[in-house]
Structure 1
Amino acid sequence: MTRPTTKPGSLYDADRSDEELRALVDGRNASVAVYGLGKMGLPLATVYAGRVGDVVGVDVDESVVDSVNRGDCHIDGEPGLPETVAEAVGNDALRATTDARAAAERATVHVVIVPTPITHTKEPDLSIFDTVIESVAHGLSPGDTVFVECTVPPGTCRDRLVPTLVDRSGLSADEFGAAFCPERTSSGRALEDITGAYPKVVGGVDDESARVAEFVYGNVTDNDVIRVSDATTAEAVKLFEGLYRDVNIALANELGTLADDLGIDVREAADAANTQPFCHLHSPGAGVGGHCIPWYPYFVMSRVDTPTPLLRTAREVNDSMPSFTAGIVERELAERGTSIEGSRVLVLGVTYRPGVKETRATPAGPLITDLKRRGAETLATDPMLDDETISSFGAEPLSLAEVGRSDPDAVVVVTPHEAFDGVEWDGFDDVVVVDGRDTLGDIGHPTYTIGSGRN
């Protein structure tokens, strides 16, 4: 193997002073490759292009690459992103390619932000991550730095990333940098989050990697940069954020199922309890979705031998909420003398949260499955999704215009998109309504709200 040489603009060099490193970063001397141009990768690439150095974005989807190279934005619902992409491409600061190895050969900073889902057996699936790291290793040179932003199990940078780069590149571990710098962004506000809504956390596999990450992300964000002890700690930070929410949502959901037994509005009680500064109860609902909260517990549980009963129970509680919701629909229909078998049940909202075109782990999926198992004819509408996507969950798709003519026996609110504010509820005749998110108010029909009970 021909030994690579240091590229111009490489940042990893323990002999370089802070002033020299700062001058390189401030001068935008780095050449950056961002691997993954999805919902978080494309916004990150545009910010890097404006603040760190010229960027080549890498994606396996040729249509995405073509779109970016035209200066177009394939991500919907991100304020400011279309303009930012167009500006970066117009200034020759951003371009895209499907050739990850060519991008790696050119870049001095490699930023990995690719999907890391879980398998059907609840194991972290790092296959895409591994493929990207193989490509990065092919072009890795002394002085290069690799930043991982996508969520991975604790220890991945130390035990998987660095050994692979060493093995495939022919470099020793002290010739390049590696750090975990978790994305802390939400769909619909990516640019705002990346550039400063929250402090940026960085952790390196060694001191120099952490120093480089701290300087680079000091330019990326207008907020503080928090440097933690090592990459594994930084990996845990990202996961702990999600675990906190999962466990607390599970508490809220379990309390929400007690509204009838206790004879109270659990939401009202929680709101009053939250006036104490040490109480932060969340709101119950029809389930937890997305590619973060439902998956993160398994990233931790897969790496430890110590039992984690709280994490497992929280997952079980949250995963049970679609079935609980379906049971409420069946019970409310029965209260009116109607069997769920053969009833028409309309599901409002299939994406996992309002205003986001994303269905991964959406609670609407298991809810529809459960309703059908109970014998219901299930319909669904979602302004963010096409008919084919809705049909893939087993529901008959309806447009918003068709909702008023659908003549359902029951309606379930799973995801309260703003477009549903225009639903004409007085057009429904003697309908059972189950509100999974407490968003309806007085609609002229008796409504069962999860956590509050029947009004």
Structure 2
Amino acid sequence: MTEQRRQSDHDIDSLYGVEKPSNRQRDAFLSGSIPVAVYGLGKMGLPLAAVFAETTGNVIGADIDPAVVEAVTDGDCHVKREPGLPSLVAETVAEGAFTATTSPLDAAKRASVHVVIVPTPITEDNEPDLSILDAVVEEIGIGLERGDLVLIECTVPPRTTADRVLPALEGTSGISRDEFGLAFCPERTSSGQALEDIRGSYPKIVGGVDEESTRAANLVYETINDDGVIQVTDATTAEAVKVFEGLYRDVNIALANELATFTDEFGIDVREAIDVANTQPYCDIHDPGPGVGGHCIPFYPYFVIEPFETGAPLLRTAREVNDSMPSYTVDKLREEFDAERAGLTDTSVLLLGLTYRPGVEETRASPSLSIAEELSAAGADVYGVDPLLESFEEFEERGLTSLSLDDIYDLPVDSVILITPHEEFELIRWDKLDRTDGRLIVIDSRDALDQKVLSQTSHRVYTLGTGFTNDV
């Protein structure tokens, strides 16, 4: 892509406010005469940029991490375990369809469509931290031209686009709001299937600050999403759609987790009861587990709880329930040691799976972090295995010693907690695990272990939500 914006054979170099037939605008977009900038080349941003590059042939990606930009420039993919992404990045870079820069301002000056997909974390006080978004929006504002279209994909509290992004773009650019487009179009992708999701696992949601912004955003996304686009009333509604998706899952998981805590008192397999209840078409209870991790579900409730005055008791309670599950998991283990020995002190515990879900190299808010910390504080020697991780620094800070999967047979342990059921664990030879003293206590927090295999051992197995499944 040249340093200047390409001029179109169709005499169309922007999408917003252009009095041209939509089919001519679409042709211009697909021909690459309307440059696209994608700000943020992380786990979700890089796949999105690659798909836009594949579709339009004219994408510049911006990321402040020089290592990321260097990798993209070399045609390499720094995002792991995304099927098809390495080859797509290599192909689009080789074709000149995809370039990268460490300067968001440079990208802003060269593009007519600006797609923002940067992190929006929360602070230690659970306040939404929009500082990265603010910084990128300021750079876009400096490079903004009349007719440009700005699309926000990163999850934000409702009203952010209308009340924060729009006035910032107006103020920085000096361009009035009716001369550029702005819409919220949330990413709806999952790690491990990003390309599939972007291309059309679900409809794309678009909501603009005005009708023209919505129309222009719809035109952009219908070119890459085979499942179509759903236009909502405005940007705030689109923001709410994304947040609500996460809130539903957090509250539903909290219900499942709370029901699981009744397992022993009820004297039943709560998981079985949930499965059968779900055969009724109006019931869809999720699975219980040791907690909720990742960069989405544990944080999105605070996008509603903190910025607004309306009370959110259900959302707060769901967070408390899910945040309590790592301690509940440790407590189940502690009960066993309290009954048979003298508590967790001087015991050894092996944690299987440290990432927040199987097959994904992501540890943010993983239940394993709290479990490791609590066990270490209780005086246990804590060991951990995760075939996806290369660095265990954040776990070592919590008292955990990392092992390879092969090492577990050489280390006598008192107990094992399965936290994240990576497929590699299916090959564990449970009959070969050595014990320091007495029976090995196994906590299966995901109902993922092969009970037939375990039944051939003398291990005492407790499954969260089910109870003891091998108690002879």
Specify the alignment match of 1:435 in structure 2: 444
Give the TM-score taking structure 1 as reference length.
0.97
The whole-number CA distance in structure 2 between the counterparts of 1:179 and 1:343 is: 55
Q: Give the counterpart letter for 2:328 in structure 1.
A: F
Q: Is the 8 A contact 2:6 2:33 kept in 1?
A: no
Q: Of the candidates 51, 54, 57, which is equivalent to residue 50 of structure 1?
A: 54
1:404 aligns with 409
**Native 8 Å contact 2:69 2:100 kept in 1:** yes
Instruction: Report matched runs for 1:335-350 at 5 Å.
Output: 335-350=339-354
Matched, 1:28 2:47: no
The match for 1:385 is 389
2:420 matched residue in structure 1:
415
- Inter-partner Cα distance in structure 2 for 1:34 and 1:147: 9
Residue in structure 2 matching 1:304, options 303, 308, 315: 308
Letter matched to residue 336 of structure 1 = E
Query: What do the CA deviations read for 1:334-367 (whole angstroms, capped 9, x no partner)?
Result: 3333521111111111111111111111111111
Q: Call closer, same or farther: CA 1:159–1:276 in 2, change over 3 Å.
A: same
Counterpart of 1:109, as a letter, is V
Pick from 23, 40, 43: which aligns with 2:44?
40
- The farther-off stretch of 396-405 and 76-85 is 396-405
Q: After the TM superposition, which residues 356-395 of structure 1 pair with which residues of structure 2 at under 5 Å, given as runs?
A: 356-389=360-393, 390-395=395-400
Q: Alignment partner of 1:219: what SS? A: coil
Q: Secondary structure at the match of 1:284?
A: coil
Deviations 1:241-269 (A, max 9, x none): 00000000000000001100110000001
1:21 Cα shift?
A: 2.6
In the other structure, the counterpart of 1:261 is 265
1:232 aligns with 2:239: no
Does residue 177 (structure 1) correspond to residue 181 (structure 2)? The answer is: yes
Give distance in 1, aligned partners of 2:411 and 2:41: 39
Contact 2:376 2:398 in 1 (8 A): no
Mean CA deviation greater in 370-379 or 71-80: 370-379
C-alpha distance in 1 between matches for 2:209 and 2:410 = 60
Shift of 1:375: 1.9
Q: CA deviation at 1:6?
A: 11
Provide the rounded CA distance (Å) in 1 between the counterparts of 2:391 and 2:203: 40
Aligned to 2:106, which of 102, 105, 119? Answer: 102
Q: Give the letter for the 1:162 counterpart.
A: L
Give the corresponding residue for 1:77.
Answer: 81
- The farther-off stretch of 154-163 and 371-380 is 371-380
Separation in 2, partners of 1:122, 1:7: 46
Shift of 1:421: 1.3
SS in 2 for 1:30: coil
Instruction: Give aligned-pair identity as a percent.
Output: 54
1:134 paired residue among 138, 141, 164: 138
Q: Distance in 1 between matches of 2:7 and 2:305?
A: 40
Give the number of aligned pairs: 452
5+ residue gaps, structure 2: none
Measured after TM superposition, the shift of residue 7 of structure 1 is 7.6
CA distance in 2, matches of 1:22, 1:57: 21
* Distance in 2 separating the partners of 1:68 and 1:14: 33
User: RMSD of aligned C-alpha atoms?
Assistant: 1.6
Q: Which ranges of structure 1 fall in alignment gaps of 5 or more residues?
A: none
Q: CA deviation at 1:70?
A: 0.7
Per the TM alignment, residue 387 of structure 1 is displaced from its structure 2 partner at its CA by 4.5
2:341 maps to a residue whose letter is G
Partner of 2:321: 317
Alignment-mate amino acid for residue 165 of structure 1 = L
Q: Tell whether 2:152 aligns with 1:148.
A: yes
Which residue type is aligned with residue 429 of structure 2?
Answer: E
| Secondary structure of the corresponding residue to residue 416 of structure 2 | strand
CA distance in 2: counterparts of 1:7 and 1:414, whole angstroms = 55
Matched, 1:284 2:288: yes
Q: Does 1:454 align with 2:459?
A: no
One-letter amino acid of the counterpart of residue 450, structure 2 = G
SS in structure 2 opposite 1:86? helix
Give, in whole Å, the separation in 1 of the partners of 2:166 and 2:121. Answer: 21
Instruction: Report deviation, 1:219.
Output: 0.2
Q: Distance in 2 between matches of 1:301 and 1:400?
A: 41
Distance in 1 between residues matched to 2:461 and 2:6, nearest whole Å: 67
- The alpha-carbon distance between structure 1 residues 83 and 393, as it changes in their structure 2 partners (threshold 3 A), is farther
Alpha-carbon distance in structure 1 between the residues aligned to 2:448 and 2:293: 18
- Please tell me the residue identity of whatever aligns with 1:360: R
In the alignment, what sits opposite 1:200? 204
Q: Give the Å deviation of 1:400.
A: 1.0
C-alpha contact 1:69 1:95 (8 A) present in aligned 2? yes
Question: 1:143–1:211: structure 2 CA closer, same or farther, 3 Å change rule?
Answer: same
Shift of 1:10: 1.2
Secondary structure of the corresponding residue to residue 35 of structure 2: strand
Q: Secondary structure at the match of 1:346?
A: strand
Q: What is the Cα deviation at residue 369 of structure 1? A: 1.4
TM-score of the superposed pair, with normalisation by structure 2: 0.93
Does the Cα contact within 8 Å between 1:348 and 1:380 map onto a contact in 2? yes
Tell me how far apart the structure 2 counterparts of residues 302 and 146 of structure 1 sit (CA, whole Å): 26
User: Matched residue of 1:104: which SS?
Assistant: helix
**Contact 1:333–1:410 (Cα < 8 Å) also in 2:** no
